[in-house]
Structure 1
Amino acid sequence: MQDVAREAIRTYVETTSRRELLDRVLDEELPRYAESLERLGQ
């Protein structure tokens, strides 16, 4: 039972950490390239 709980916690932490990292990168970098992305979309 402990192994199942550890694995569940490990998976949650890894997923949450990746999600937070992706959100932070998008928040910081997307505005930087917004004009270029807009031009590519036209």
Structure 2
Amino acid sequence: MQEVARQAVRDYIERTSKRELLGRVLDEELPRYAEALERLGR
């Protein structure tokens, strides 16, 4: 039972960490390419 709980915590941390990393990357890099993305959207 303890191993199941440990794995659940590991999985949660991994998912949360990836989500936070993606958010940071988008916040930092998206503005850099905003003009190009806007042109592609036309």
Give the TM-score of the pair, scaled to structure 1: 0.96
Taking every aligned residue pair, what percent have the same amino acid on both sides?
Answer: 76
Shift of 1:10: 0.3
Task: Give unmatched runs, 5+ long, in structure 1.
Answer: none
Task: Give unmatched runs, 5+ long, in structure 2.
Answer: none
Counterpart residue identity of residue 15, structure 1: R
- Corresponding residue pairs, total: 42
Give the TM-score of the pair, scaled to structure 2: 0.96
Cα-Cα RMSD = 0.4
| 4+ residue runs over 4 A deviation | none
